Amino acid sequence: MTIHDLQPQNVWRCFHALTQIPRPSGHTQQVAEFLVNFGREHGADAFIDQAGNVVMRVAATPGYEDHPTVVLQAHMDMVPQKTKDSTHNFETDPIETWVDGEWLRAKDTTLGADDGMGVATAMAIVEDKTLQHGPLEVLITRDEETGMYGAFELAPDTLKAKYMLNLDSETDGEITIGCAGGLDVVCTMEYQEMNVEPEGMVAYTIAVKGLLGGHSGLEINEGRANAIKLLARVLYAAVGTGLAHLSTWHGGNMRNAIPRDGEAVVLVPQQKEEEFCQLVDKCCQTFNHEYADIEKQGIQLTATKLADIPTKAVPDDIQENLISAVLAAQDGVMRNIPTIPSIVETSSNLAIISIADGKASVQILARSSQDSMKQYLCNGLKACFAMAGMKVKFEGGYSGWQPNTKSPLVETMSSVYEKLNGERPKILVVHAGLECGIIGPKYPDMDMASIGPTLLSPHTPSERCYIPSVGKFYNYVVEVLKAL
């Protein structure tokens, strides 16, 4: 069985078309043009706005012209994550999908169901002229995953709708009515590299791979290992005992993905080579013991000897400051919501590190549903890295989406779900960031909620979509539009 055999065919056909168009964050022009052409081919007034978002305006079904306008909202970009051995190029190659029982997966990469399933659902509704609905607006934003830039730059006069269905949630049977806000903490510095005297030295690459990784909002509470943090522990022990000296360090590649792998190149005195290798082996055993119940596939920590010795390295004081700051920085859950202890309130994701060629940078995504706690967290991170001599700035800040517990839209959606499935959906707020929190203040009178089919492990190569939930989700959206 392949994706072409799945039901409902209209949704899966649209999703397959998306998988054939490279659309990593930062490279969305091609998919934007595809979506505009798709909309026009099916009778919509479709265009790309000044922010790079795609907007489609769809006429109401005859007899429904006086019904309120509804926005179907999703984002066009996907997180480009792949396994260490994959040769996939996200800027040129299509995504290869395969059916694994009741799940659709991708070959060694993220699937792009986040938020390709939301986009495909909107596309299927646009092309189906048999449905009953009032006037529709489809908003498909750019670069949600790297900073929600499309939502931030959306003009406040673009939409006219009364209701908005965000199609970017990831669990069937749930209606999300609130989310955390976020702020990027960007730390940088430049340093004068020191020359390496190769006599009596060898070089090794310390690599961490095989971690689960995951979505830094949805899965930050699961205690998964962070590759950057693990390497910081190894480097702190090796450098602090004179077993190694840091040359370069890289890890992570997306601000909202828990880092799955990373590597550091170090210089090791020949007479301490055996002791260094023993330390790495001991760290590997320790990490696998600590995370045995979480990283069940095992943590791979290796030290591989290099044929060539680097000619440059990080100066003594700089390497100690950088390693110490990364080791000390808050990562993971900081606090749960006091009144809803099952939901994370405040967290940080130590997402990306790059130290090489005289430049060092660290990127962290902080989240919180309380603006004051978000600022407290970010100030603490700033203090930590400033003491290491780094310049720290905050970027892309946005407040959380505050829930409307008396939403008429949510009441209608709950009733429709109960009619279709015999039970009421869960109403909740989430720690992950949703574009509703940015779009909402631009349209203060718009009632909004977020729904989606069931996805697991988004932002990782293990991302998968639960096939039975897709038809259920599509029918639900169709019936909500009819009810509104």
Instruction: Transcribe 451-482 into DSSP letters.
Output: ----EESTTSTT-EEEHHHHHHHHHHHHHHHH
Instruction: Tell me the mean pLDDT in the region 195-209.
Output: 95
Active site residue 357: no
pLDDT at 41 over 90: yes
pLDDT attached to residue 420: 97
Q: Which long-range contacts (CB under 8 A, 24 or more apart) does 106-110 make?
A: 106/19, 106/461, 106/463, 108/82, 108/83, 108/461, 109/80, 109/81, 109/82, 109/83, 109/461, 110/78, 110/79, 110/80, 110/81, 110/82, 110/458, 110/459, 110/460, 110/461, 110/463
Gap between the Cα atoms of 229 and 210, Å rounded: 14
**CATH annotation of 183-398:** 3.30.70.360
The secondary structure of residue 78, as a DSSP letter, is: B
- pLDDT over 90, % of the chain: 94
Average pLDDT, the chain: 96
pLDDT per position as a tens digit, 389-447: 999 999 988 888 989 989 999 999 999 999 999 999 999 999 988 999 999 999 999 99
pLDDT attached to residue 326: 98
- pLDDT over 70, % of the chain: 100
Gap between the Cα atoms of 330 and 465, Å rounded: 32
pLDDT at 310 over 90: yes
Active site residue 65: no
DSSP 3-state of 413: helix
pLDDT per position as a tens digit, 177-193: 999 999 999 999 999 99
* Domain extent listing, the chain: 3-179+400-483, 183-398
Given a contact cutoff of 8 angstroms between Cβ atoms, the answer to whether 160 and 69 are in contact is: yes
pLDDT per position as a tens digit, 120-147: 999 999 999 999 999 999 999 999 999 8
pLDDT per position as a tens digit, 432-468: 889 999 999 999 999 999 999 999 999 999 999 999 9
155-159, 271-275, 335-339, 380-384: the lowest-pLDDT one? 335-339
pLDDT attached to residue 361: 98
- The burial class, CB within 10 Å (0-12 / 13-18 / 19+), for 50 is exposed
Fold of 3-179+400-483: Aminopeptidase (3.40.630)
Instruction: Tell me the mean pLDDT in the region 271-293.
Output: 98
pLDDT attached to residue 147: 87
DSSP 3-state of 251: strand
Instruction: Tell me the mean pLDDT in the region 30-50.
Output: 98
pLDDT attached to residue 224: 97
**pLDDT confidence bin for 159, thresholds 50/70/90:** very high
pLDDT attached to residue 339: 86
pLDDT at 340 over 90: no
pLDDT attached to residue 419: 97
Backbone dihedral region of 151: left (phi > 0), alpha (psi from -120 to 50 degrees) or beta?
A: alpha
pLDDT attached to residue 301: 98
Strand-pair partners of 206: 264, 303
pLDDT at 306 over 90: yes
pLDDT attached to residue 373: 96
pLDDT per position as a tens digit, 85-108: 899 999 999 999 999 999 999 999
Question: What number of other Cβ atoms are within 10 A of residue 444's Cβ?
Answer: 7
Select which of 144, 145, 345, 463 is catalytic. Answer: 144
Q: Which amino acid is at 417?
A: Y
How far from 53 is each of 29, 426, 435, CA to CA, in Å? 10, 31, 13
pLDDT attached to residue 84: 84
